[in-house]
Amino acid sequence: MTSSASNGPDFEQMWSALLPIGRSAASGGYFRQPWHGAEVELRAWFVEEADRRGLEVEHDAFGNMVAWWRPDGAAGPAVLTGSHLDSVLDGGAFDGPLGVVSALAAYDRLVESGVRPDRPLAIGVFAEEEGSRFGRACLGSRLAVGAASWEDARSLTDADGVRLGDVVEGGAPSSWLAGVGAYVELHVEQGRGLVDLDAAVGAASGIWPHGRWRFDFTGRADHAGAARMEDRADPMLSYAMTALAANKQARLAGQRATFGRVEVAPNGTNVVPSRVSAWLDARADSPSGMADLVAEIERQAAARAERDGTSLSVTAESVTGAVSFDPVLRGRVDGLLGGAVPVLPSIAGHDAGVLQEAGIPTAMLFVRNPTGVSHAPAESAGTDDCLAGVEALATALTGLLTGPGE
Ligand code: GLV
Ligand code: MN
Ligand code: MN
């Protein structure tokens, strides 16, 4: 049990303290890959902020962290809030950290306004949400709930050959989640929905199905000058046509398909490549839409590979079905916020979706992003909107922590 200690720095002070951490001077974007310098610094910052507030920090075997507020009289299933601190490569400042900083600031509001919770509050930080180091999105939360197996995950390797099992202990699913009765994640919006609706804060209805597939095209290495064009088996051509086909199919179907990561072997300017591995990120508004989209891209890739004399193998690395956030919790949050908050689907994935699918009632709040850009340095949110997000989160948490539960 911990009692409420004095509050820490306010939202803007915390935000300013994080801004330089992991920021590239060249692009203005963030490199906060899990268990590397900047992200380790952010973890230490979180522990320090939790300690400052007298919150008890628990670390699980997968690198997830949770800070508990269990004042006298608080019992039963906790309300969890939080997000993640890692970023994509050259990402924005807000995706993840906004939810963590807002959670701490909302906790401070609760303490300042003398809220006496009937249930514990937990502030969580999930590890490797973006999959930017070990390739699997929401890895920390998936392992924590048992949706991913440690036996499979422990041998995932990063670009330097370091295994996940070398950086975290791993083991059985995390016991701390058994004490959680609801999760509310605040996140920067990753599109322009709230800009178009002229609203600072919104809520999510659910998450589109999405996934990652590795396309390995294998051909024959040769001399870029001496090998006649008609004699080549060039996997780059098979890949290039596949990227165009993915774009066209997604546009035709009103869905999303992206090849954002490519590895070429041997990657020499004057060498016809022997292999191209490319990762497809596909998202659709229904599971059947996503299955059809990926099947059509794969069909066209295979047909092109045959014409090029290359071979293709496709591996599904992670596939996540459609998520609908808990209607009862969503209704409660909506009521607590006065019924005035617009509701949007999320086309980005979140740990919130993993927890919802694991049976923990979950809701999400969004904060307006004026650029509508995300996973890039231009991601943004205005201070007033961030403060409105903190206010909304504090209001929702106050209602969920006090009075009768579900
Ligand atoms: C996570 O941000 C994702 O949707 O890729
Ligand atoms: Mn993200
Ligand atoms: Mn995120």
Ligand 3 centre to CA of 27 (Å) is: 20
CB distance 348 to ligand 1 below 6 Å: yes
Q: Exposure of 292 by Cβ count < 10 A (0-12 exposed, 13-18 middle, 19+ buried)?
A: middle
Per-residue pLDDT 10s for the chain (406 aa) are 334 444 667 999 999 999 999 999 999 999 999 999 999 999 999 999 999 999 999 999 999 999 999 999 999 999 999 999 999 999 999 999 999 999 999 999 999 999 999 999 999 999 999 999 999 999 999 999 999 999 999 999 999 999 999 999 999 999 999 999 999 999 999 999 999 999 999 999 999 999 999 999 999 999 999 999 999 999 999 999 999 999 999 999 999 999 999 999 999 999 999 999 999 999 999 999 999 999 999 999 999 999 999 999 999 999 999 999 999 999 999 999 999 899 999 999 999 999 999 999 999 999 999 999 999 999 999 999 999 999 999 999 999 999 877 6
Tell me the ligand closest to 352's alpha carbon.
3
CB distance 137 to ligand 1 below 6 Å: yes
Q: What residue owns the CA closest to ligand 1's atom 1?
A: 349
CA-to-CA distance for 261 and 136, rounded, in angstroms?
Answer: 13
Tell which atom from ligand 1 comes closest to the C-alpha of 283. Answer: 4
Longest CA pairwise span in the chain (Å): 79
Least Cα distance to 54 among 127, 101, 123, 138 occurs for 123
Using alpha carbons, list the distances in angstroms from residue 320 to 90, 212, 292. Answer: 24, 9, 15
Tell me the ligand closest to 87's alpha carbon.
2
pTM: 0.96
Ligand 3 centre to CA of 261 (Å) is: 19
CB distance 211 to ligand 1 below 6 Å: no
CA-to-CA distance for 129 and 98, rounded, in angstroms?
Answer: 14
Tell which atom from ligand 1 comes closest to the C-alpha of 190. Answer: 2
Tell which atom from ligand 1 comes closest to the C-alpha of 281. Answer: 5
CA-to-CA distance for 66 and 68, rounded, in angstroms?
Answer: 6
Tell which atom from ligand 1 comes closest to the C-alpha of 88. Answer: 2
CB distance 243 to ligand 1 below 6 Å: no
